[in-house]
A = this chain, B = another copy of it.
Amino acid sequence: MAQTDTVTRILDTAEVLFAERGFAETSLRTITSKARVNLAAVNYHFGSKKSLIQAVFSRYLDPFTTRFHRALDELQARYGDEVIPLEVLLETMARSVLEVPAERNSLKVFMRLLGLAYSQAQGHLRRYIQEEYGSVFARFTELVRQATPELPDAERFWRLHFMLGTVIFTLSGLDALRDIAEKDYGEHVTVRDLIRRLRPVVVSAMQAPLPAPPPRE
């Protein structure tokens, strides 16, 4: 079937180019010519550039949320009524992320896309992701809440986003950082390597002492 081939060739090419240059900087002509596909094919199969962008995201996020939900199911079955420790939760999330590239392209592309989704103001994208995948995140944060009962709700909210920032920022800007690190420390860094380094940092950050109360004025 030629149709499916065209569709996946567009998606395969688009995700790489989007990850490399961003959405606005990647034209449909660049995508279609690199994918050796007619220009009109994008609008025919996806309707618009916006929809193409969302389709690129779905192809990563759908497998991820499926896996993540399943992993949380197993975790809750295993722990029953007991509280799942924070380290286990974080570990599970990390593993779910790492498993995505098994069926999709590369973890690097996945992370770059997530980074773009946050940094690019692109209102429609944030809304789309929030609506489509907000429930997994809600489920995860609830489990984190049970694992860190000593944290005030607001504090936990912010710390989770701090850590989200750490991971997405680092992994999505990895290429640039890797160049520097390689030059200065002669060490070639893999993504798995970085995740190994991230683990203790994230755990310590989540368990940091509470901040001093705001100064009275």
Q: Is the interface of A mostly helix, strand, loop or mixed?
A: helix
Q: Which residues of B contact A197 (CB under 8 A)?
A: 155, 158-159, 211
Instruction: Say yes or no: A187 contacts B120, CB within 8 Å.
Output: no
Interface code A137-169, partner B: CB below 8 Å = 1, 0 otherwise?
Answer: 000000000000000011101110111111111
| Pairwise interchain contact B211-A172, C-beta atoms closer than 8 A | no
Q: Which of B121, B158, B161, B163 contacts A22 (CB 8 A)?
A: B121
Of A36-44, A88-96, A176-184, the one touching chain B:
A176-184
Q: Which residues of A11-60 are within 8 A (CB) of B? A: 20-22, 24-25
Interface size class of A (residues with CB under 8 A): 35 or more
A210 at the interface (CB under 8 A from B): yes
Q: How far does the alpha carbon of A115 sit from the alpha carbon of B180 in the complex, in Å?
A: 19
Contact A25 B121 (CB under 8 A): yes
Chain A residues within 8 Å of B, Cβ to Cβ: 20-22, 24-25, 115-116, 118-121, 126, 153-155, 157-159, 161-170, 172-173, 176-177, 180-181, 184-185, 187, 193-194, 196-205, 207-212, 214
